[in-house]
Amino acid sequence: MERTWTRRWRLALAVLWCISAEGADARGLLGVAAAAATPGAEGSSDDAVNSAIAYGLLTAEKDFQYLVSLLDSADSWAGCGGALIRPRLAITAAHCVKKANGKISDVKAVYIGIRNWETDMPSQYEYRKVTKIVVHGQYNPDTLANDIALLVLNRPAKTKPVLLPPPTYKLIPADVYEDGDWLFVAGFGSTEQGDTSRLLYAEVPFISRAYCNEIYIDEFESDPVPTTHICAGYADDSQDSCEGDSGGPLVKRTKNGDVLVGVVSYGPGGGSCGGDMNLGAYTSVTAMRRWLLSIIASLKL
């Protein structure tokens, strides 16, 4: 059956997932991904799942101010993003902070609200040290189930955090209903013209689990998407791109502000970047809500 939603190229945007031909496991997950001292520069880091934004648009200054960029011990970009959910708490993907060998990575600080790594002055964003990293106890690095982690900051940020979804929050799949939900994702991923140091965003349709699993299983001979995840993206006509921010926010725009519904986790494999059927898998914040609130309570944040 033809799905008309796949032709609705709102602003001609797509979230794309770059999978390396070398080091990819049976699920098509990337074992070694590109990262850099700053976005747009050359370099490499281990144990990251690679994702990117292609044909993205530059963000307005008021948008995505809660987006955080993870920094290593040298205050260089750690190749991942996240979102501020409390003045002293940021959310990211577990695979961004926990290596395949089980050790915690050297994420030591974050930038909050940086928009251009080449031109922004320190007065335009916030810098906070990371004092504690909490990884979901049931995180599975093989399937990426429960791919979520929290970063405790040394002092409160002045930036307004992104909203968390209420307990009964539900999204309407765009592949089933004409008026389905469209979501926004942002990051410093590569573009169709190469690397970028500027924050970009893309608008993507929310996709039903049934259709997402159909794509992952039938098209890519991959495992089903974990129940801890949701899917978003385009089913065809996608553009090619590599390298970007895992751990970044997937949000639903509302009159009360952006609601965080997902955390960038992974995409389908296949030995090359881009191509058709690039439906991204995001850790569901609604599915993780009970865990999130329990950690927030235990940390007294």
Residues with a catalytic annotation lie at 95, 147, 246
**SS3 of the chain:** CCCHHHHCCHHHCEEECECCCCCCCCCCCCCEEECCCCCCCCCEEECCCCCEEECCEECCCCCCCCEEEEECCCCCEEEEEEEEEECCEEEECHHHHECCCCCECCCCEEEECCCECCCCCHHHCEEEEEEEEEECCCCCCCCCCCCCEEEEECCCCCCCCCECCCCCCCCCCCCCCCCCCEEEEEECCCECCECCCECEEEEEEEECHHHHHHHHHHHCCCCCCCCCEEEEEECCCCCCCCCCCECCEEEEEECCEEEEEEEEEECCCCCCECCCCEEEEEEECCCCHHHHHHHHHHHCC
Nearest to 71 by CA among 119, 115, 39: 39
CB 29 within 8 A of CB 140: no
